[in-house]
Copies of this chain bind each other. A is one copy, B any other.
Amino acid sequence: MAKKVKDPGLGEASVTSAKRIVNKDGSFNIKHVHRKTGISALYTYLVDISWTHFFCLVFLVYFIINITFATIYVTIGVQYISVEPQGFFIDFVNAFFFSSQTITTLGYGAMAPTSIITGIVSSFQALIGLLSFSFVTGLLYGRFSKPKASIEFSDEIIYRDFKEGKALMFRLMNSKKDVMINPTVKVTLAITEADQAHGYQRNFYQLELERDHITYLPTTWTLVHEITEESPIYKFSEKELKTLNGEFLIMVSYYDEAFNEEVYKLHSYTFEELVMNVAFEKAFYYDEDGFTVLDHHKISNTRKM
């Protein structure tokens, strides 16, 4: 008989429409209201976005700051940054260049402040510039030193014949060249079921794995849950499985040699991501020289059984 586990901290009360708790990227699928935000939240945001997004933002902010200060310098009068006034457009462009030369602490000097007010603004702007680039330095290092996404999961979880019965399987891949040591996996199944006493209730079950830890992970690792009588999904038919409102919550931990850190990674599969009667194709092979070759495109490749 399948044994429930106590609420692992995710809450037992549920509704029929309940969305998944853990997103595919491993974050919690929770909306926050009245959350205090601040510079730290900004930092976390800027560390988590993609590189393209990050650089676009840097250029945009650089542009906006210079537009802002250019407006200030034009308002004060470009003669006070040693520029001959020549009409709004040219003045604005010159002020923009003066601003960019100030904020980067470039300071060619062809333009330079010649009044107290432009002196004050440019002193202040140079400080702002240095603080901003200190911030960017921290951000860049923060982005690099954070171990991200070095584990890749197969797109789907599969349900297939295995030994005399059936089994659930999914696959992990070492998506970097990093040395992964002692990877360990824990799978919790959460199913929302109607309960006479409490309305909809989320029940949690620990899934037994054929093997839940290995010593090294240089290529791929297929995790196997045999559906024995002990399994919480033993009682469901293939059809019923596809209609369940539930979620496989997966926690992988390993030691990452490149970062010298123990790394945890969450992942989740819903029953919509369950595919029937397919098997994973091998994702690595030996080439002629005896080298093991890992093909990153094949992590989710399956074939009909």
Contact = CB atoms under 8 A, between A and B. Distances in A.
Nearest to A145: B142
Contact of A292 (B19, B126, B179): B19
B93 A218 contact: no
A15 B288 CA distance: 10
A136 to B, nearest CB: 5
Nearest to A38: B51
B123 A34 contact: no
B258 A44 contact: yes
Contacts of A286: 14-15, 17-18
A17 B290 contact: yes
Q: Dominant SS at the A interface?
A: mixed
A110 B97 contact: no
Interface in A128-161: 129-131, 133-148
What size tier do the contact residues of chain A reach? 35 or more
A211 B9 CA distance: 11
B129 A104 contact: yes
Interface in A205-241: 211, 214-219, 221
Given A19-B289, A33-B294, A294-B32, A127 B104 contact: yes
Contact of A43 (B111, B133, B144): B144
A34 B296 contact: yes
A295 interface: yes
Interface stretch (A23-31, A71-79, A273-281): A23-31
Interface of A: 6-11, 14-19, 21, 26-36, 38-41, 43-44, 51, 58-59, 62, 66, 82, 93-94, 96-97, 100-102, 104-114, 116, 119, 122-123, 126-127, 129-131, 133-148, 174-179, 181, 183, 186, 188, 211, 214-219, 221, 249, 251, 255, 257-266, 284, 286-297
13 contacts: A6-B211, A10-B216, A17-B286, A19-B291, A28-B177, A30-B284, A32-B296, A35-B296, A101-B123, A108-B108, A133-B134, A134-B137, A137-B137
